[in-house]
Each structure stands twice: as C-alpha cells, then as structure tokens.
C-alpha cells in the first residue's frame, strides 16, 4: 500500500503545473498530485493539506510566494467563500486559454486522437465577463441581521451572504435585495432543513435580456404564510420592472429547488424575451440559457457547423424547448426535435407557433428509439444536432448515430470529459472537423464547445484504420 507523502494539516511548498477541470491548480509534492483552489500555473505556493485520498491530495492555499502575471484582484467581496465562481483570481484572457486547454487535456486523456492534429479553436469570450447571468436561484437563510440570501460555499451547505453577485444582472441583485427585505418585514422565516421549521427556502429571479421584464418566484416549504399577495404587490410597487410573481411549494427533503405546486400570485403568466429574431415566453419552469449574449454566439456556431443549404432534414436531439432547432430551421427543409421531457416538448411546440415556424415537428421520447423509427418511415436525417447533459450521450444514442449515419453531427458539449469519451466512439465513423470552445460562464471553470463531425467516406476510413 502506497503511503502519502502528505498528512492532513501539514504545510508544504509546491509549484503549480496545470489547471484542473474544476479550476483548481495542480501541483506535485514528491510525485503526488495535489489540488489547490485559487492558484495559477507557474506559481510557487505554500499550502496546507486538507485531505488525502487514493493517489492524490487536496490542500488550501496559505500564501503565494511567487505570483503569476495572470493573477488579478477578484471583483467579488466574498470570492473564495462563495462556491459560485472559481476563476475570479485569474485574468480573463487566461481564463479563455485554460478553458481551451481543458478540452485539449480531455481529448488527450480519453481519446486516441492527437490534439496537436485537431483544429481546437481559441475560446470565444465576452467583451464584459461580468453581470451576464439572467437568472438567480438563491437559498434563504439567516445571519446576524435577520433573513438573508446567498450561495453555498464550496463543497458544503454553509450559506454565504451575497447581496451583490458580480456575475448576475445588476437589476436581479436589486430585486433580490428588495425581496429579502420584504420577507423580513412580513416575518417570513427562513426554512431550516434540520429542524424543518420556517417557511422560505429560495428566491428565484429571472430577467429578460432584451425586454428587461422580471419574474420572481418565492419557493416556500409550507403554506403557513397567508399574505403572499400583499408581499407581491409591495415588491411590484418597489420594483416596477417585476411583471410576474409566483409562489412554489416544496416540502420535500431534496436538492430540487421547485416542488410540484406552482401558483401565480400577481402580474402576468409569463415574461417575454428575445434572442436574435426569436421571441420566447418564459414561465418559471421554462428552460432558458443563462447567458443570452453568449447563447446567440453558441447558436450561430451551431448554425455554421450544420452547413445547411435549405434541403437538409435535421434532427434536434435533446431538443428541450426547441431553441437550437428553431434557430437553424430557416435553412433546413424540416427539423424534428425529440426530448424525454413532455413539458419541454409542449414549450417547443408553443415557441415554434410563437415565432411562425412551420417546418418543425416534435416528439416525446428517447432519440435512440425515435430517430431509427423516423428513418424507417423515410425521414433519414442529413444532420443531427445533439446537446446532451453533462453526463454526455449514452451508448445507445451513439450506436444509433453510427447506424443511421447522418452526413454531419453537430455536438454541443458542456463537459470536456464526457465530450472526449463520446468522440472516442464517434470517430470510428466520423472525423472531427473542428472544436469551437465558447465561454458561457465567465469567472467559472465551465466551458461549452461546438464540435462539427463529418461522416468519413470509405477511403478515409481505410486510411484511418491503417494507422492503427
């Protein structure tokens, strides 16, 4: 059994060699990998070991002895306490570089591809990498001043008070603070999961990117509070941009924010927003990208990668509320979307109608089952767009794609590791034309990517197989 050279509580000196997928610096102490949040490549740091696990250790930064030129002052007062952001100590150009590098490392680790030979493009960033999130989901708690909201600290359930989140719209911060004051005024106490006492669990606020309309949802653990209508009217009076107020009841011991009961309290049924030429009605449960400015870039990259001429049949797998498929629909003969969530398909149909798109069709179910059925009926896709969750595509869907063999696959990824694992299988029949990283969440370690894959002809496949 290998003994770790580090003990919990031990202080040590180490040089950071690279950045991990969660934004932490990685150094090597006597050949053992050590993960240290808040550090940068090339820095010499003093750290204290906090955990020893199989083959690696975790540590907490004590001080930086040799600083990187990419280190900067975080904008947020509670950075390092709040677990929402991981990279505010890093200059933005360096954030973009390490996000591209995260994809490079994943390809190198999980595939047989040589990243040197791939066209992995520079990460598309933002002109202003702050105040970009259009939605806040903030747990309610207590501090010495009474009711407060915030975000949980890294890897814990300790709530950090946040009154001015640097990555949310400023208007959202303003509305959240007014909502907190009203909860205090109306004596709506924060819910404590351990004792199951109290009422208020979360405040959820969404703002339209183009319209400026705001929707607020109060998530309560029970129906003890009887004056929600009065509170809602007060909030709309103080914040006229609030057009819609809901209450949601969630009494379950769960990590899910919303419970089954969603009730409109005051104002409109939904708020509206626009992305490009498209209009969307947003109810509290409706899925909508959190960074609209970068979403336009993402969807335009999908459209570019699809290379449509007006004659192609397109499948939008994991279609959600239909936004990506509808974005490309004007250059396709027909777009068919499929998703396992019935509510999402209902929204997708409504969005198509709202935007006068008449060449879309939607079905509830698994793409790996429905797409072959469509192919047997004569709808064989030329292009398949996939936008899977962080877990990536399942083996059944990959096998379906290899069997149906569309000319092109456009893969939208939010996880470099699962992307690379999927590419290992897909590149048995497809070549990777390029990978375009996009920074949807500045100041965090997350990176999205659009990948264009083209079906190899026989000569390409023979050449590829001969290299093995």
Q: What pLDDT is stored for residue 307 in this prediction?
A: 97
Which amino acids are annotated catalytic? 414
pLDDT digits (tens, 9 = 90+) for 255-272: 899 999 999 999 999 999
Q: What pLDDT is stored for residue 41 in this prediction?
A: 97
Q: Binding site residues for S-adenosyl-L-methionine, as ranges?
A: 289, 318, 339, 387
Q: What is the CATH number of the domain that holds 41?
A: 2.40.50.140
Kindly state whether residues 382 and 359 are assigned to the same domain: yes
Kindly state whether residues 336 and 395 are assigned to the same domain: yes
Kindly state whether residues 432 and 324 are assigned to the same domain: yes
Residue ending a domain, among 223, 246, 279, is 279
Kindly state whether residues 301 and 444 are assigned to the same domain: yes
Q: How many Cα atoms are found within 13 Å in the side-chain-facing hemisphere of 281? A: 14
Q: Report if residue 305 sits inside a domain.
A: yes
Q: Report if residue 93 sits inside a domain.
A: no
Domain count, the chain: 3
Q: Report if residue 426 sits inside a domain.
A: yes
pLDDT digits (tens, 9 = 90+) for 338-396: 999 998 999 999 999 999 999 999 999 999 999 999 999 999 999 999 999 999 999 99
Residue ending a domain, among 256, 279, 302, is 279
pLDDT digits (tens, 9 = 90+) for 8-54: 999 999 999 999 988 999 999 999 999 999 999 999 999 999 999 88
Q: Report if residue 197 sits inside a domain.
A: yes
Which residue in the block uniquely carries the two structure tokens 């767009």? 385
pLDDT digits (tens, 9 = 90+) for 396-434: 999 999 999 999 999 999 999 999 999 999 999 999 999
Q: Report if residue 451 sits inside a domain.
A: yes
Q: What pLDDT is stored for residue 157 in this prediction?
A: 80
pLDDT digits (tens, 9 = 90+) for 66-105: 999 999 999 999 998 998 999 999 999 999 999 999 999 9
55 has pLDDT over 90: no
Kindly state whether residues 117 and 161 are assigned to the same domain: no
Kindly state whether residues 311 and 452 are assigned to the same domain: yes
Q: Could you list the residue range(s) of the whole structural domain that residue 65 is in? A: 10-71
Kindly state whether residues 374 and 323 are assigned to the same domain: yes
Q: Binding site residues, as ranges?
A: 289, 318, 339, 387
Q: What pLDDT is stored for residue 467 in this prediction?
A: 61
254: pLDDT confidence band, cut at 50, 70 and 90? confident
Question: Could you tell me what percent of the chain has a pLDDT over 90?
Answer: 89
Kindly state whether residues 150 and 206 are assigned to the same domain: yes
Q: What is the CATH number of the domain that holds 424?
A: 3.40.50.150
Q: Report if residue 270 sits inside a domain.
A: yes
Cα 376 to Cα 70: distance, rounded to the nearest angstrom: 55
Say what the pTM is.
Answer: 0.92
Q: What pLDDT is stored for residue 156 in this prediction?
A: 76
């Amino acid at each position: 059994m290998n003994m770790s050279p580090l003990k919990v509580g031990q202080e040590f000196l180490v040089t950071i060699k690279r950045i991990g997928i969660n934004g932490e610096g990685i150094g090597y102490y006597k050949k053992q990998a050590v993960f240290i949040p808040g550090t940068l490549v090339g820095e010499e740091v003093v750290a204290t070991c906090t955990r020893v696990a199989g083959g690696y250790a975790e540590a907490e930064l004590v001080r930086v002895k040799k600083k990187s030129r990419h280190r900067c002052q975080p904008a947020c007062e509670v950075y390092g306490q709040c677990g929402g952001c991981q990279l505010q100590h890093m200059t933005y150009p360096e954030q973009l570089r390490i996000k591209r590098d995260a994809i490079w490392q994943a390809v190198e680790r999980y595939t047989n591809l040589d990243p040197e030979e791939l066209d992995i493009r520079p990460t598309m960033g933002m002109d202003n990498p702050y105040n970009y999130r259009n939605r806040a989901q903030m747990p309610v708690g207590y501090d010495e001043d009474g009711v407060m909201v915030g975000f949980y600290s890294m890897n814990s359930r300790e709530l950090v008070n946040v009154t001015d989140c640097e990555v949310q719209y400023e208007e959202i911060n303003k509305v959240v603070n007014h909502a907190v004051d009203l909860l205090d005024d109306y004596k709506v106490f924060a819910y404590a999961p351990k004792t199951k006492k109290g009422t208020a669990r979360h405040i959820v606020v969404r703002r339209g990117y183009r319209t400026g309309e705001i929707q607020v949802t109060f998530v309560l653990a029970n129906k003890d509070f009887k004056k929600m209508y009065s509170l809602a009217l007060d909030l709309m009076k103080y914040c006229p941009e609030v057009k819609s107020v809901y209450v949601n009841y969630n009494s379950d011991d769960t990590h899910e924010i919303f419970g089954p009961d969603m009730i409109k309290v005051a104002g409109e049924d939904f708020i509206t927003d626009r992305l490009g030429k498209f209009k969307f009605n947003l109810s509290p449960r409706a899925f909508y990208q959190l960074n609209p400015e970068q979403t336009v870039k993402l969807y335009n990259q999908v459209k570019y990668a699809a290379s449509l001429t007006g004659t192609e049949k397109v499948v939008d797998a994991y279609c959600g509320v239909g936004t990506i498929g509808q974005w490309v629909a004007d250059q396709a003969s027909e777009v068919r979307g499929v998703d396992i969530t019935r509510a999402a398909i209902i929204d997708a149909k409504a969005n198509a109608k709202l935007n006068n798109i008449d060449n879309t069709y939607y079905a509830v179910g698994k793409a790996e089952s429905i797409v072959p059925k469509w192919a047997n009926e004569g709808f064989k896709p030329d292009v398949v767009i996939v936008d899977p969750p962080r877990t990536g595509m399942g083996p059944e869907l990959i096998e379906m794609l290899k069997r149906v063999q569309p000319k092109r696959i456009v893969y939208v990824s939010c996880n470099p590791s699962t992307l690379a694992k999927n590419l290992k299988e897909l590149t048995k029949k497809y070549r990777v034309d390029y990978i375009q990283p996009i920074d949807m969440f500045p100041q965090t370690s997350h990176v999205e990517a659009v990948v264009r894959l083209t079906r190899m002809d026989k000569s390409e496949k023979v050449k590829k197989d001969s290299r093995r």
